[in-house]
Structure 1
């Protein structure tokens, strides 16, 4: 009977300590705006503008700021709008991206390489380039200030097609061949064989998609004029006062409330997110 070799503790070498310090410094730089924002959400206006570097307020004003954040503007309505828009965008993105990615990775047809090259080129085109034509099109169709205007421009995601194509390429061809032998149609193979095996990639893409569109201010600011349809980033702007400028305390409190769902969602799905990125071949 063999004895298991005890695990040796990792040695704190100079290289490991250096990497840890560099990563910690980078993490602090990335977290600094959020830490400052949370600190400001707990301070009264006088302390926010005093220039003090203390993170914890001398006079705790968090209850007042968060109460104003929840009562001054319909923040819950903004959150519901954000959920509806993000779910609608993600639904159509997966609906279109999964079949396209399957066709590019598991079928053979003329022009497949050229189409995939166009997908890669599409990754280089930001929404700002197409904003004016899209705005004119929605204005002519009478669709401004609607959920359609918020969802339709993002229904097809070239990044989603690319991500799923990379993941599907790693699925054994024998699995697809066996499904065809069993009489499955290509459409059935996509949704009953390939998609269940691609949940890590779906989770990773969902985090990318929801984070991007939950935080998007540029496009909603252009096409939405009604408070009832405002998503979270646009709703936060309602905490500006024309007579006194930005009320930073309640505004930072509203920002913390808007950010919290994304943080919780990522913490719950981080393992699948890492698996999806790793198995899709996108890791550095």
Structure 2
């Protein structure tokens, strides 16, 4: 919590106190109203946060819809290529977004899909990390329950979503924290595919306060960073509680 506390205190200081020689922890002449007002009025910060919520929510939903069946297939369905497919999943963990960024950008540009929510979400619809995480979780799920469900006439699709997934809420909560945090803070990809302020995400708003010519307004910068970070902190605390409850209350007997 120390960096968050430091960010909050800095957001209340005027510029001359932030770089003072004494580095007082508490502000002597608080300027929190001015800093937060400027952060909220100089850029459409709330609109950017709404865009970030839409993008993060859309990415997370599609990631769960694609990764859970893939992980179940790798964990519980026997086929010869399973080890090779899982090796490709592990290899995919080593490939950063910068590698396919250029062909993805060219494809979106040729299709006229730049400056859209779809362009912001497309590269992250399939998460190899989610497949790996859920596969490891599903490996510990008893085969006897799955066999009993098959005997009762349930299809594999029903088994995935009605039997296995409800027991995977701890893993889903843990992955949701990783996914939302990563894409809420992502600057690289939105900086490439977005040029409209109406579609800008929170990190693009923070970058607005960096000015190498006139000097960076660190007070307003920290105020904007505090506003943008607040939903993540709240979401983390809420998800952490659900995560603990899932571990203690969800079990296979």
User: What stretches of structure 2 of length at least 5 have no aligned partner?
Assistant: 249-253
Alignment of 1:115-264 (within 5 A): 115-241=85-211, 244-264=214-234
Change beyond 3 A, Cα 1:154–1:235: same
The aligned counterpart of 1:36 is 6
Instruction: Measure, in 2, the Cα distance between the counterparts of 1:37 and 1:203.
Output: 27
User: What is the SS of the residue equivalent to 1:246?
Assistant: coil
- Normalising by structure 2, report the TM-score: 0.92
What are the equivalent positions in structure 2 for 1:78-97 lying under 5 Å apart? 78-97=48-67
CA–CA distance in structure 1, aligned partners of residues 131 and 12 of structure 2: 43
Asked if 2 retains the 8 angstrom alpha-carbon contact of 1:119 and 1:162, the reply is yes
Compute the displacement of 1:143 (Å): 1.2
2:72 aligned with 1:111: no
What root-mean-square deviation, in Å, do the aligned CA atoms of Structure 1 and Structure 2 show? Answer: 1.8
Q: How many Å apart are 1:43 and its aligned residue?
A: 0.4
**Aligned pairs, number:** 248
Q: CA deviation at 1:134?
A: 1.4
Distance 1:116 1:275 in 2: 30
Alpha-carbon distance, 1:272 to partner: 4.3
1:92-141 per-position Cα deviation (integer Å, ceiling 9, x unaligned): 10010000000000101120110000000101111112212211221122
Distance (whole Å) between structure 1 residues aligned to residue 244 and residue 128 of structure 2? 20
Question: Which structure has the larger Rg?
Answer: 1
Higher relative contact order (CA 8 A, sep 6+): 2
Distance in 1, Cα, partners of 2:244 & 2:102: 36
Matched with 1:266 is 236
Query: For structure 1, which segment, 142-151 or 50-59, has the greater mean C-alpha deviation from structure 2 after superposition?
Result: 50-59
Tell me, in whole angstroms, the C-alpha distance in 2 between the residues paired with 1:221 and 1:118. Answer: 29
- Conservation of the 8 A alpha-carbon contact between 2:17 and 2:23: no
- Structure 1 distance, partners of 2:3, 2:167, is 38
CA distance in 1, matches of 2:214, 2:47: 25
Identify which of 61, 64, 72 aligns with 2:42: 72
Cα pair 2:51 2:201 within 8 Å, conserved? yes
- The answer to whether the 8 Å contact 1:41/1:65 transfers is yes
> What's the offset of the Cα at 1:276?
7.7
> Which segments of 5 or more consecutive residues in structure 1 lack a partner in the other structure?
1-30, 279-284
| TM-score normalised over the length of structure 1 | 0.83
Q: Secondary structure at the match of 2:98?
A: helix
Query: What's 1:99 paired with?
Result: 69
Determine if contact 2:206/2:221 at 8 Å carries over to the other structure. yes
- SS of 1:37 mapped into structure 2: helix
Secondary structure (helix, strand or coil) at the match of 2:163 reads helix
Deviation at 1:194, TM superposition (A): 0.9
